[in-house]
């Protein structure tokens, strides 16, 4: 028996009705409906769950919100490999970006001019290295990280602590809309969930979970950004911290992280040791690169020689796992053989 939108039902029980706990979901998330314990099966088909779906699904469609359920290939693989991840993700914007390599940048809401400058500059440079910037759309460091990435022509992901039918903080409405056009906004919370203060520490595990590494720009000793660090370390992610003025309260947390073993981040080469600068090779350089391409990279170039393709089109033509295709695409972009323009990959001549 197939149960329509099984994982959206889980989200309702977790976040709205609060009759299911994460530890229960961890035990049952890989079960089919018929294998579930009788008590849980009964909860998943209760009248109020059906009423919730009847309202939620049309609202998502009307607002161009995608639902990525845990058991689908659209759900980010890097989250599937971590514990206590949401049964489904609500996404507004370009959901394929969730599969790209990303670096999280987080920090204080009450950032200094130094912190704001560093967040913006690092995010802009990271974007120019074909790497997504992930943050939380909050005031301060988060805002500047998103803006720097967008201004650098890159893709950015905002993970928020409320339903996607509302924007929070409202002062970031323009930035929110820019992100949707050049990235995506993500939430684990169903529509109509307000930005409750306890939602934000919880969502931080998704910020670190999507990222390959986490950068803390500026944080006090009790900053919420340090919760992201705890999640990142638990998930086995590398943590970087930007050093700050020893007299500044907003640098005490980052300086302490460095003292306790976080990698000191003072230049972009720390994040990208394999390349000093992103460059577009000359035609002669491109020819030398093409001689050493593997079979998958050559297959991608062959498909693109027939015309521009979206990620979905490429996956349809190339029977390889999405993570391998994304790695190949990133390399081809880095060496200047292809470009990603408005969600379409094209040969770069």
pLDDT in tens, 180-214: 999 999 999 999 999 999 999 999 999 999 999 99
- Residues 274-293 have pLDDT tens digits of 654 344 444 344 444 454 68
Check: CB of residue 330 under 8 Å from CB of residue 130.
yes
Nearest-angstrom CA–CA distance, 323 and 248 = 41
Return phi, psi of residue 342, to 5°: 50, 50
- The residue behind tokens 């200094």 is 112
pLDDT at 276: 44
Q: List helix spans (H) across the chain.
A: 6-11, 22-28, 38-44, 47-62, 77-80, 113-127, 141-151, 173-181, 199-210, 225-234, 252-259, 268-271, 283-290, 295-304, 311-317, 322-334
- Residues 33-56 have pLDDT tens digits of 888 889 899 999 999 999 999 999
pLDDT at 12: 97
253 pLDDT tier (thresholds 50, 70, 90): very high
Domains by residue range for the chain, with CATH: 97-155+198-271 (3.40.50.450), 283-347 (1.10.10.10)
């Amino acid at each position: 028996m197939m149960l329509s939108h099984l994982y959206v039902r889980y989200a309702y029980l977790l976040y709205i009705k609060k009759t299911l706990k994460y530890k229960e979901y961890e035990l049952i998330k890989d079960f089919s409906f018929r294998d579930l314990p009788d008590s849980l099966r009964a909860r998943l088909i209760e009248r109020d769950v059906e009423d919730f779906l009847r309202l939620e699904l049309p609202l998502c469609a009307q607002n161009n919100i995608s639902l990525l359920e845990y058991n689908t290939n659209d759900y980010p693989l890097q989250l599937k490999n971590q514990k206590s991840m949401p049964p489904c993700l609500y996404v507004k914007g370009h959901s394929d970006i969730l599969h790209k390599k990303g670096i999280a940048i987080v920090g204080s809401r009450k950032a200094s001019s130094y912190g704001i400058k560093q967040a913006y500059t690092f995010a802009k440079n990271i974007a120019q290295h074909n790497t997504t910037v992930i943050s939380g759309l909050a005031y301060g460091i988060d805002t500047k990280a998103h803006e720097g990435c967008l201004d650098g022509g890159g893709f950015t992901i905002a993970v928020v602590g409320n339903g996607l039918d509302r924007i929070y903080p409202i002062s970031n409405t323009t930035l929110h809309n820019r992100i949707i056009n050049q990235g995506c906004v993500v939430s684990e919370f169903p529509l109509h969930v307000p930005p409750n203060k306890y939602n934000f520490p919880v969502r931080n595990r998704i910020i670190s979970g999507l990222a390959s590494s986490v950068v803390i720009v500026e944080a006090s000793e009790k900053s919420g950004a340090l919760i992201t660090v705890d999640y990142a370390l638990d998930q086995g992610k590398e943590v970087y911290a930007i050093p700050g003025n020893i007299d500044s309260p907003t640098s005490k947390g980052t300086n302490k992280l460095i003292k306790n073993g976080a990698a000191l981040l003072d230049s972009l080469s720390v994040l990208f040791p394999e390349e000093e600068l992103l460059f577009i090779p000359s035609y002669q350089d491109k020819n030398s690169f093409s001689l050493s391409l593997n079979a998958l990279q050559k297959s991608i170039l062959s498909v693109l020689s027939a015309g521009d393709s979206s990620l979905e089109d490429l996956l349809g033509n190339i029977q390889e796992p999405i993570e391998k295709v994304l790695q190949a695409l990133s390399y081809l972009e880095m060496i200047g053989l292809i470009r990603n323009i408005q969600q379409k990959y094209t040969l770069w001549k």
